[in-house]
Amino acid sequence: MNCLFCDLLTTRERAADILFEDHDVLVLLHEAWATLGHTVVVAKRHVENTSALEESEWVRMSRTFRRVEASLLAVTGADRAILMKLGLMVPHLHLHIYPVSNALTRDEVFAIINGQTRHEASAEERGEFVASLKRRILAELA
């Protein structure tokens, strides 16, 4: 099987972008931020849909999602977050979190969802952001 997330779990290729991990869930920054802090919450077990998870796995994944979303909103100063689950390009259950402002128009929101926007950050800025977000997530999950 050739799966981006299964490969990532095995190789640890993007270890610097991992924000949190437990037995069932991996949380990491998306490699191409559509917004500041664009994050994905990934089921470790290779499934496509939430209904394929054991209930206990889904409970842990949803609790993790909720706390990561709260951390992202606090660290980015965003008003709300957009949640998206598609799995079209990578058929492995993962939930995108896009922190956004309430001031965005409908067209701007759809540009984010459609991958037409990018938030550029230097390696240093990204590193500082990751450190700050990891601290917040660990505090939320404690």
The CATH number given to whatever domain includes residue 87 is 3.30.428.10
Q: What is the rounded distance in angstroms from the CA atom of residue 119 to the CA atom of residue 4?
A: 22
Continuous H helices in 4-122 = 4-11, 55-76, 106-113
In the predicted structure, residue 142 carries a pLDDT above the cut 80: no
- Sheet with 39-43, strands from edge to edge, namely 18-21, 25-29, 39-43, 94-100, 80-84
Range of the domain at 58: 4-141
**pTM above threshold 0.85:** yes
Q: What is the rounded distance in angstroms from the CA atom of residue 11 to the CA atom of residue 94?
A: 18
Give the per-residue pLDDT at 1: 62
What's the chain's length in residues?
A: 142
Return the higher-pLDDT residue of 5 and 97: 97
Q: How many domains does the chain have?
A: 1
* pLDDT, tens only, 67-86: 999 999 999 999 999 999 98
In the predicted structure, residue 90 carries a pLDDT above the cut 80: yes
* pLDDT, tens only, 7-47: 888 887 777 788 999 999 999 999 888 999 999 999 999 99
CA count, 13 A, side-chain hemisphere, 29 = 26
Q: How far apart are the first and last CA of the chain?
A: 35
